[in-house]
Structure 1
Amino acid sequence: MRRLSCLLGLCGVLSIMPARAAPLPHTVQAVASFTVLADVVAHVGGTHVHVTSLVPPDGDPHEFEPSPDDARQLRQADIVFMSGEGLESWFSRLAHAAGYHGTPVIVSNGISIYTPPGLQQAETDPHVWNSVPNVIIWTNNIRDALIAIDPADADSFRASAAAYVTQLRALDRDIRDRIATIPADRRRILTSHDAFGYFGRTYGLTFMAPQGLSTETEASAGDIAALIRQIRQTGVTTYFMENAADPRMVQQVARATGTRPGGELYAEALSPPGGPAPDYIAMMRHNTDLMVTAMQGTR
């Protein structure tokens, strides 16, 4: 009887002891080159992924200067995402400084690349995210890359990607419906640099800009004179700043043509939290609202 009591007592003790804790789930440490891409990665990764953007909010991904902290982030990353198509020209310098020998995921693979009229084939437009269908391709590429590195959470990545694609398709329909209200001969926009080629191709707008595809380029006096003539001929009345671009050149064109300011577009960088474009979908809605208002001539 005493032996039985001891056994029962031992069983009681074991019943109240905590079971051996299961290993904590691993959070994938992801680095994205700039804020727009980081936001899409975060939507697909959900709670299983922690995302760091190298270029900060309101930062210019063309002229970004990496810091030692960026090198540290790159060394610690499980996976690195880039848009590609020449946008991140600084990445090779950062990778060398960080001793990074991995292969970044290029999320724009599979996108039909746009080359503006008059440019050589090598001068492709890197601003693919300004067309929502392209970001659907991004989303699927990000999903597949995360599944490859973290197959245990594959179902979560698939579900998150599918939910986000549903939101993106609704956004795409809304933009098309908004633009459809504008007569075709009024669908012209003046911006700082040529960052909206994909938006124009997808949604049927013409964009004019004194600078080329990169904010690192300088427009010649002849380019600016030709743009001023074009604006006068087409009757564009509104110009837009960009949050990450130098406004002086577009202001020069505006003074020469009498166009008036229409607000600030977010072409290649999100705003900080609390701003008008804290995430990709908000950015696209903000830009579309400003453009439609300008083209309606209500300013």
Structure 2
Amino acid sequence: MKSVRLAIQFLSLLLVLALPGVAHSEDSAKKITVATTVAPITNIVQNVAAGLANVTGIVPDGTDSHTFEPAPADAKILGAADIIIVNGLDLELPTVKLAEKVKKATTEILRLGNRTLRKEDWRYDFSFPREHGHPNPHLWPNIALAAQYAKIIRDSLVALDPAHREGYIANTATYLAKLRKLDNAIFACVKTIPQQNRKLVTYHDSFAYFAPRYGMKVIAAIQPSDFSEPGPQEIIRVIKQIKREKVPAIFGSEVFPSKVMEQIARETGVKFIDQLSDDELPASPNNSFIGMMTNNMAVMTEALGGNTRCVASVDTSNAAP
């Protein structure tokens, strides 16, 4: 009788382990491998995964993502990935081309921008003219769109790794709450800026999706579509526009150092601030996408005559792995 009971218990255990949705301890411990590109997207993925997946970004922090060429070592990372998450909208063309060659047959290339915006909502501008066919890909400074990125990442990781479904859902809920606070803080910052100063002149046109959401206007972007320095006629046009619009400050970036912006600032008598970032995360303790955007708003708000207390309570921390 005892041997019969033991046999029944053993068979029952096998049946339970075979049931759908019952995670084996070995399966639960196994982590999928995720390859990403630019630092803000890598950081969003890290906050959604929060230790449940191995996440590797291949574009070094602060590197020009438009001109980045992947190295041979990156081919190994892309080839081993279970999913490759990119911004899309033609931002990382050399990386995507390499990924398509070396990835596993089952590995998806998830293009976040293409999944987030309809084609009719893509933006074109001086740095990304319509006739060149490449839209402005900088969706993430618009926090509502960054939140969409997080949701798409969550759903894709859940589909690929259902054993960690509850973890991805919980991590994303926490992260979305942080993004909502950041979004509200940006609105509050812009409200403190005098109406006539809510104008942006930047070197690289990274704020095309940011400005309309928060009630600002992009007056000009200095860098042409071929990522060179602008010519004399373009410089003259921008100088006249800045004087006409009475813009109090223009913004550059350490990623895109430009003597031209210093020249324009001298000619127009406005402040030149070279501290905005669209893909370089700040140093610790604010080493996160939310930290980057918080720093941007502090810099932008102060330079345009607003009050930086609006971002004082934003949580810039990353999820614990």
Give the counterpart of 1:129 among 130, 137, 140.
140
Give the counterpart of 2:117 among 111, 121, 124.
111
Give the counterpart of 2:231 among 220, 224, 240.
220
Task: Name the aligned partner's letter for residue 175 of structure 1.
Answer: I
In the TM superposition, residue 125 of structure 1 has moved relative to its aligned partner by: 1.3
| Cα contact 1:44–1:139 (8 A) shared by 2 | yes
Q: Which moved more, 1:73-82 or 1:238-247?
A: 238-247
In the TM superposition, residue 67 of structure 1 has moved relative to its aligned partner by: 0.6
- Counterpart position of 1:266: 277
Task: Name the aligned partner's letter for residue 185 of structure 1.
Answer: Q
Over 3 Å counting, the alpha-carbon distance change for 1:232 and 1:282 in structure 2 is same
Match status 1:61 vs 2:70: no
Partners of 1:297 and 1:231 lie apart in 2 by 19
In the TM superposition, residue 149 of structure 1 has moved relative to its aligned partner by: 0.8
Give the counterpart of 1:170 among 160, 176, 181.
181
Match status 1:94 vs 2:98: yes
- Counterpart position of 2:18: none
- Counterpart position of 1:179: 190
Over 3 Å counting, the alpha-carbon distance change for 1:123 and 1:238 in structure 2 is same
Q: Give the unaligned 5+ runs of structure 2.
A: 1-23, 308-321
| Cα contact 1:30–1:49 (8 A) shared by 2 | yes
| Aligned length in residues | 275
| Cα contact 1:270–1:279 (8 A) shared by 2 | yes
Over 3 Å counting, the alpha-carbon distance change for 1:92 and 1:42 in structure 2 is closer
- Counterpart position of 2:82: 78
Q: Per the alignment, in what secondary structure is the counterpart of residue 177 of structure 1?
A: helix
- Counterpart position of 2:26: 23
| Cα contact 2:89–2:135 (8 A) shared by 1 | yes
Q: Give the unaligned 5+ runs of structure 1.
A: 1-20
Q: Per the alignment, in what secondary structure is the counterpart of residue 104 of structure 1?
A: strand
Task: Using the aligned pairs only, state the percent identity.
Answer: 28
Partners of 1:174 and 1:44 lie apart in 2 by 22
Match status 1:285 vs 2:285: no
- Counterpart position of 1:35: 39
CA displacement 1:205-247 (0-9 Å, x = unmatched) = 12322114x5725533322211110011112232222132132
CA displacement 1:112-167 (0-9 Å, x = unmatched) = 53424674273421000010000110011000110111001111111111111111
- Counterpart position of 1:211: 223
Over 3 Å counting, the alpha-carbon distance change for 1:38 and 1:215 in structure 2 is farther
In the TM superposition, residue 201 of structure 1 has moved relative to its aligned partner by: 1.2
Partners of 1:115 and 1:133 lie apart in 2 by 16
Partners of 2:167 and 2:100 lie apart in 1 by 34
Task: Name the aligned partner's letter for residue 274 of structure 1.
Answer: S
- Counterpart position of 1:17: none
Over 3 Å counting, the alpha-carbon distance change for 1:215 and 1:293 in structure 2 is farther
- Counterpart position of 2:266: 255
Relative to the length of structure 2, the TM-score reads 0.79
CA displacement 1:250-269 (0-9 Å, x = unmatched) = 22322322222324111123
Over 3 Å counting, the alpha-carbon distance change for 1:249 and 1:263 in structure 2 is closer
Task: Name the aligned partner's letter for residue 180 of structure 2.
Answer: R
| Cα contact 1:31–1:79 (8 A) shared by 2 | yes
| Cα contact 1:243–1:269 (8 A) shared by 2 | no
| Cα contact 1:215–1:245 (8 A) shared by 2 | no
| Cα contact 1:39–1:280 (8 A) shared by 2 | yes
Over 3 Å counting, the alpha-carbon distance change for 1:54 and 1:117 in structure 2 is closer
Greater Rg by CA: 1
Relative to the length of structure 1, the TM-score reads 0.84
In the TM superposition, residue 169 of structure 1 has moved relative to its aligned partner by: 0.8
Partners of 1:126 and 1:50 lie apart in 2 by 26
Task: Name the aligned partner's letter for residue 54 of structure 1.
Answer: I
Over 3 Å counting, the alpha-carbon distance change for 1:58 and 1:232 in structure 2 is same
